[in-house]
Amino acid sequence: MKNNSVVKVMPQQGPSVASRMKDVLEMLGEDPSREGLLRTPERYEKAMRYLTSGYTANLEEIVNNALFSVKSDSMVIVKDIEFFSMCEHHMLPFFGRMHVGYLPKDKVIGLSKIPRIIDMFARRLQLQERLTQQVGEAMTEAVGPRGVGVLCEARHFCMMMRGVEKQHSGTVTSTMLGAFRSNRATRDEFLSLVGRPV
């Protein structure tokens, strides 16, 4: 699912990230003046500013009144929303899919808004656990539903490329709020609809 979040890049203050990256390249034994690396510090800074642009995203701006009154109280689920984030411990990517479900009280949110809410929190230095929780809380704040469930399946480069070097292990985190926490049938319905054993 592709989407374009409102990207606001933090204004630059003091020395640029790029100028520091030249030193980092040297410290890693590289020659920052060789052709392939000449513009790498600037590219790196640009990429990092984009990947952390979630800090300046605003929930209200993202939702932008895309809330619609409903009589139905059936569960709404958006499955398999891909996301890319970076772990705060190693600043290496982790990525995967998120499944978000909620039970409307009196309104529903435009479905395309849910991936953008995820990006708002994924484009930060994160822990998968916190990312999952923040998406659940933001959905609660934005929609005021009877409950929210978020299931997040991810793979972490810091595990795949270094450390334990396990290529195929995944990490699953979940957040259950409101009726999804208090009502087992609701939680089970969500988990079975997203294809997880209940």
Please report, as ranges, the residues that interact with Zn ion according to CB under 5 A: 87, 89-90, 158
Q: What separation in angstroms does the CA of 152 have from each of 76, 138, 163, 172, 174?
A: 17, 15, 22, 6, 6
Asked about 99 being catalytic, the answer comes back as no
The residues facing 178 across adjacent strands are 147
Instruction: Based on the residue annotation, tell me whether 168 is a catalytic residue of this protein.
Output: no
- Helix, strand or coil, per DSSP, at residue 35: helix
Report in angstroms how near the CB of residue 87 gets to Zn ion at its nearest. 3
Residue nearest to Zn ion (CB): 158
127 vs 3: CA distance, rounded Å: 22
Nearer to Zn ion, 99 or 156 (CB): 156
Active site residue 128: yes
158 is catalytic: yes
Rounded Cα distance, 136 and 187, in Å: 14
Q: 30, 42, 90, 153: which one is catalytic?
A: 90
- Residue type at 70 in one-letter notation: V
Assess whether 133 carries a catalytic annotation. Answer: no
Catalytic residue among 30, 42, 137, 158: 158
Indicate the residue among 28 and 164 with the shorter CB distance to Zn ion: 164
Would you say the C-alpha torsion 134, 136, 137, 142 has a positive or negative sign? positive
Query: Considering the complex, what minimum distance in angstroms separates the CB of residue 117 from Zn ion?
Result: 23
Whether 152 is a known active-site residue: answer no
88 is catalytic: yes
- State the helix-helix crossing angle for 40-51 and 17-27, rounded to 10 degrees: 120
CB of 90 or CB of 105, closer to Zn ion: 90
Q: Name the active-site residue from 87, 126, 134, 189.
A: 87
Question: Tokens for 115?
Answer: 């991936």
Which tokens hold the place of 159? 């595990």
Active-site residue, selected from the candidate residues 26, 61, 82, 88: 88
> Given the complex with Zn ion, which of 124 and 187 has the nearer CB atom?
124
Q: What residues are annotated to the active site?
A: 87-90, 128, 156, 158
